[in-house]
Amino acid sequence: MPTKSANIPSSTKGAVNSSCNLCSLGHLCLPIAVNQAEIGKLDSIIKQGKVVDRGDHIFHEHGAFKSCFAVRSGSIKTYTVTEEGEEQVTGFYLPGEIIGLDSMTTDLYSCSAKALEKSSVCEIPFDQFEELAVKIPTLQHYFFQLMSREIQESRKLTMLLSKNTAEERIASLILSLSERFKRRKLSPTQFRLPMPRN
């Protein structure tokens, strides 16, 4: 059972300070949807590069939903806790991907998010983002695309977990990660799996 701590205690965490304009993941994340004149507005609401250590939580299931988080480095696992107290994995997130999209329709996070390794995330306060997206149609459209991709990834994960054997589930996971690394212009055949065996 995860300890009940606040979302990324800022007093104990470092930060990787860099604007959206300078971020190497701009072609995968929100900056791709805005022009040079608009990127300053995006920068002004995003809290960049909070560092989390392996095992640290970004948010907890049933905690108050206030922000989405873009993975900047490392990898993040999302999960729910069953009635038996066991973790049920709901997703793995890589740099350039956004966590928390599935919680927008409620006031609570639908799962917990935990760093699988030392990672950094950019916090996107949702109320401020929503106001900005109304003013920048391309940003709003891109956010709809992100939500659509989240639905597709959830379906893939459901299919993955329905596989009969552990070997089939692992093979499906590796294929899914391969596709996502390829999307990031990284090697689809040589990559490290940050997931622990236990």
Distance separating alpha carbons of residues 136 and 140, to the nearest angstrom: 7
164 pLDDT higher than 90: no
pLDDT, tens digit, for every residue of 117-129? Answer: 999 999 999 999 9
Q: Please state, in angstroms and rounded to a whole number, the distance separating the CA atoms of residues 194 and 116.
A: 6
Q: What confidence score (pLDDT) does residue 174 get?
A: 76
For residue 26, the model assigns a pLDDT of 64
Q: Is the pLDDT of residue 68 over 50?
A: yes
Instruction: Look up the CATH superfamily of 20-183.
Output: Jelly Rolls (2.60.120.10)
Q: What percent of the chain lies above the pLDDT cut of 90?
A: 28
HSE-CB at 192 with a 13 A cutoff on CA atoms is 6
* Top-confidence residue, 166 or 70: 70
Which residues on neighbouring strands pair with residue 87, listed in sequence order? 81
Per-residue buried b or exposed e for 116-149, using 16+ beta carbons within 10 Å of the residue's own CB: bbebbbbbbebeebeebbeebeebeebbeebeee
pLDDT of residue 198: 54
Task: Delimit the domains of the chain by residue range.
Answer: 20-183
Query: What does the pLDDT look like over 24-44, one tens digit per residue?
Result: 676 667 767 778 888 888 888
At 162, the pLDDT band (50, 70, 90 cuts) reads low
Given this model, what pLDDT does residue 125 score? 94
Question: Sign (positive/negative) of CA torsion 131, 135, 136, 142?
Answer: positive
The whole-number pLDDT of residue 58 equals: 97
